[in-house]
Structure 1
């Protein structure tokens, strides 16, 4: 059982890193992992066997813990090198005890690659956490489309600067009522008006700074509620 001081320390981490300029709610924690941990993640992600990768048109990805499915995810054991970071995220107590993370989606983005505006959807508990490695990116947020007005493009609202080694939590209104995307470009121009987490970032940035992208590896750590009773074990 955790002691009171440990719980208070974790509460302070979240309290001090809430992004107050956006709808509820986002927590942005810079330098959540060390440079050594970042390099370990990148090395082990790249060592994964080729069949573990799924190649999409604009990026490639790996599923760990199983593949989410409306009929239920057939759970797979998450390897120890990755579970270490799942546990580190869980220890912040944002996820409820009964809804601890059981799935990790790893995305690789090369410079110029991105992802269209989307929501994480009903297959997941409505909390998403992401550890970023290798490069920054800008995460853009849009109001969710009214299903009766699908011809209307989503309205851009704001962006967050996601630095390497950071952890981002999205939940509540931001999960339910907003779409998020990453634009396909090789660099990003800092806009202090559009970026709402400047106060939480690890560095000081000036308006119109240009940040060049490199290869980014993201670990999206979530809870899949619907899991099949079957369970697969992967080789170590």
Structure 2
């Protein structure tokens, strides 16, 4: 896989970003039926290998992300994340992974990706802005209003986890540059099973992945929802691997945009 060299690209400064209108990013149409993967093992997981255009990814978005400074404080609460003029990376103490958590309204370059998801058919139901329609209540579709931006070092993964009940049961993650990674789904232990001595053989193998998916580093999109979100843990396998076709996995720095509602 050929990836453009962005080391000599001129960074987009925050001052330029503040006065910049949200660009329009043309992306393919997303289809639940056409992009579903691993349906025989786990429902409601969808993958599109080339969602974000390479020109926008490598010439605009990644240079801007790399130009954002790190926050001197050690926790997310110490940083102001709500203004495009006060953007910071925060390094998590327990993992040495840099993150940014943003709420809408997003900075223009992130808003462009959120709108691209919406226009492509990746939408969320708004639980707070219901509309009345002939006596029944229905939720309107809209773009995501939260994004967690993660920066991973080579070989770095993330432990099995869920994104929590505060969000809707749907997440869309765009991979930005770097190497491919292995996304794993494993069964989530139910509340009444925690501490039980009568776990069956299936529950004794909770760390055995139900589905493993290789996420391409060049602007790929993975969406999972419903049972895949609520009843399963997701993780990124750490280490450096070589596929049968000699592609190297987890060998470069990489970023992820994880959109939620």
Whether the TM-score (by the shorter chain) exceeds 0.5 is yes
Unpaired stretches in structure 2, ≥5 consecutive residues: 1-27, 72-87, 126-139, 196-203
**8 Å contact from structure 2 (residues 152, 253) kept in 1:** yes
1:139 to 171, 183, 189: 183
Unpaired stretches in structure 1, ≥5 consecutive residues: 1-8, 66-75, 191-205, 224-236
Matching of residue 180 in structure 1 with residue 234 in structure 2: yes
Matching of residue 41 in structure 1 with residue 93 in structure 2: no
- Give the match's secondary structure for 1:91: helix
Aligned-residue offset at 1:174? 0.5
- The equivalent of 1:88 in structure 2 is 116
More helix by proportion, 1 or 2?
1
Give 4+ residue runs of structure 1 displaced > 6 Å after superposition. none
- The equivalent of 1:150 in structure 2 is 194
- Give the match's secondary structure for 1:31: coil
Matching of residue 53 in structure 1 with residue 96 in structure 2: no
CA radius of gyration, larger in: 2
**8 Å contact from structure 2 (residues 155, 252) kept in 1:** no
Aligned length: 188
Greater relative contact order, per chain length (Cα 8 Å cut-off, separation 6+): 1
Q: Structure 2 CA distance, aligned partners of 1:221 and 1:183? A: 20
Aligned-residue offset at 1:207? 6.7
TM-score between the two structures when normalised by the length of structure 2: 0.65
Query: What is the RMSD of the two structures over their aligned residues, measured on CA atoms?
Result: 2.2
**8 Å contact from structure 1 (residues 140, 181) kept in 2:** yes
TM-score between the two structures when normalised by the length of structure 1: 0.72
**8 Å contact from structure 1 (residues 138, 188) kept in 2:** no
